[in-house]
Amino acid sequence: MSTGAHFAPGRTLAELAAGLRRREFSSAELTRALLGRLEAAQPTLNAVISITGEEALAQAQAADRELAAGRAGPLTGIPILHKDIFCTSGIRTTCGSRMLDNFVAPYDATVVAKLKSAGTVMLGKANMDEFAMGSSNETSYYGPVRNPWNTSLVPGGSSGGSAAAVAARLVPAATATDTGGSIRQPAALCGVTGLKPTYGRVSRYGMIAFASSLDQGGVIALSAEDAALVLTAMAGFDPRDSTSVDLPVPDYAATLNEPIRGLRIGLLKEFFDGLDPENAQRIREALAVFERLGAQLKEVSLPNLPLSVPAYYVVAPAECSSNLARYDGVRFGYRCSDPRDLSDLYKRTRAEGFGAEVKRRIMIGTYVLSAGYYDAYYLKAQRVRKLIADDFERAFGAVDVLIGPTTPTPAFALGAKTADPITMYLNDIYTIGANLAGLPAISVPCGFMQQLPIGLQIVGPRFAESRLLTAAHAYQRETDWHRRIPPGYE
C-alpha cells in the first residue's frame, strides 16, 4: 500500500489542505494515492459500495485548476467518501439495500452539492447498514464492513463504512448520518471523531429517509478541527428541506482555539450507572484533562433518560414504516419477477428487496401505528420523548455541555449480537437521547480498552456545535488518541 512519501497516512484534512496550498502535491496525486489505498483495503474492510475513480480524477483536476488560480477554499481538492445514503447524481445510490441496488440517483443531495461546490473530491460511496438500520454494519446487502483495528470485529453502524475508511486513513473525512447514534457509535468503535449536528442544521434533501424526526447528516473525520471545516461547508438553510433551520452558519473553525476555562461540564449520572469500570476510568481520565484546562465538573441527572431506547424503538420504526412505504416496485428500485397481481407485486417486491432487520422494523412500526395500538405505543413514546427533551433542557440551565461515554463497550465480534435485536439496540443506549431531543453531539477518541478504541461523547444544547467542537479541539490538543492509527494502516 505504497502511497508515496508526500502522503504519509495520518495527515488530517487540515494538514492535507495545507499541503495542497503549498503545492507539495496536487489534488490529482493525492486522489490517485488514496484511490490506491481504498482499492487495496477493500477486500479486507469492505468499507465502500462503489468507487468512482474516473469522476474523482476529473474533480481533482478541476480542484487543481482552482488551487493554481489561487481560488482554493479550505476543502478544495480534498478526497472524501459519501455515505451511500446520500443521493449522487448519475451515480448508483443503494442505501445498503437490494431494494436500491440498481438505483441511479437523478440528483445530488444538498450535502453532496455543497461539498462538491466546496471543491471536495468524491472517491466513492461508503458502505452502511441497510437503510441505516443497524449498529454493526452487518445488515448491509453488500456485506459487513470490518473494523480496521481488528478485522474479526464490527466497525459499528450504521455509518460503519465511513468510520472504517477514515480510521484506516483511506480518506481524511466522510459524510455520515445519525438517527440513533449512527455517526457517534461507529466513530467511537473505530477511534475517530464523529459529529452529529443539531436537527435541522444540515439539509436532509436527497438523504434517503429512515426516521425523519431523528435523521441528521454529519461528518466523521480525524479531528474536531477537520469536522469543523466539513460542517462549515455542509450546514445551512435549504428551502428544499422543510425541517431545515434558517440560521446563519458560523465559521466553526474560527472559534476552535477559544479557551474552555470556566466551561461547565455536566456528568450524566445515568451514563455512569452500571458503566464498565475500565470504560468509566477512561472517561474520568478525559475529564481530568478538561479540569486541567479550567472546566468545572458537576453531576447532573436526567431521570427519564433510561427510557430513551424504548421510546426510540417505537418512534423510529413508526417513521421507518411510513417512509419505506415508497418502495413498492413501481417507480424505482427492485421489482419481483412475474407478479400475479398488484398486491403480489407490492408484497413480494418488499419481501425480496428488504433485508431481515428492515422488515422487522417495518413490522414493529406498522404495529405501533395500527388502530388500537397507536395511543398505547406511539403517543406514549412521543410523550416520553418530550419528558426526555425537557430533562436535557433543564440540565442545560445548569451546565454548558454534558459528557459521558459514547458506547457501553468497544467493538464486538461479527455475529455476536445479531441473534437478539434488543442486545443490538442497547449499543445505542448513550447516543439515542440526543436524537430524541434534536441535540448536537460529538464523539472523540479517549483511549483504549482491551486494545480497542473507545469514545468520549459531548452533548450540547441546540445549535451549540461551536461549543462542542471547541471543547473537543481543546481535548485533542492535549491528547493524541485521535492520532493513533490501526496497525497495518500506518
Which 192-231 positions form the footprint of other proteins (CB under 8 A)? 199-200, 213-214
- As a whole number of Å, the end-to-end CA separation of the chain is 10
CB of 180 to other proteins, least distance (A): 13
Q: Which residue is listed with cell 493554481?
A: 68
Using CB under 8 A as the binding rule, whether residue 149 contacts other proteins is answered as no
The three-class DSSP label of residue 333 is coil
Pick from 134, 333, 445, 460: which binds other proteins (CB under 8 A)? 333
Chain residues 379-418 in contact with other proteins, contact rule CB under 8 A: 379-387, 389
Using CB under 8 A as the binding rule, whether residue 332 contacts other proteins is answered as yes
433-444 as b/e: b if 16+ CB within 10 A: bbbbbbbbbbbb
Using CB under 8 A as the binding rule, whether residue 9 contacts other proteins is answered as no
Asked if 443 is an active-site residue, the reply is no
The three-class DSSP label of residue 108 is coil
Using CB under 8 A as the binding rule, whether residue 438 contacts other proteins is answered as yes
> Please, which residue, 224 or 309, has the CB nearer to other proteins?
309
Q: Which of 182, 203, 321, 443 is catalytic?
A: 182
Chain residues 89-118 in contact with other proteins, contact rule CB under 8 A: 102-104, 106
What kind and span of H or E run contains 69?
none
Query: Which one of 10-18, 131-139, 333-341, 395-403 is the stretch in contact with other proteins (CB under 8 A)?
Result: 333-341
Q: At what angle do helices 308-323 and 356-369 cross, to 10 degrees?
A: 100
Asked if 182 is an active-site residue, the reply is yes
Q: Which of 83, 114, 125, 417 is catalytic?
A: 83
- Residue 328's nearest CA partner among 299, 287, 279, 362 is 362
Using CB under 8 A as the binding rule, whether residue 367 contacts other proteins is answered as yes
Asked if 298 is an active-site residue, the reply is no
Chain residues 29-58 in contact with other proteins, contact rule CB under 8 A: none
Report how far residue 386's alpha carbon sits from residue 153's, in angstroms, rounded to the nearest whole number.
36
Chain residues 307-326 in contact with other proteins, contact rule CB under 8 A: 307, 309-311, 313-314, 321, 325
- Return phi, psi of residue 79, to 5°: -75, 135
The three-class DSSP label of residue 24 is coil
Report how far residue 62's alpha carbon sits from residue 33's, in angstroms, rounded to the nearest whole number.
17
CB of 207 to other proteins, least distance (A): 16
> Please, which residue, 37 or 385, has the CB nearer to other proteins?
385
What single-letter amino acid sits at 41?
A
CB of 387 to other proteins, least distance (A): 6
473 within 8 A of 257, measured Cβ to Cβ? yes
Which residues does the annotation mark as catalytic? 83, 158, 182
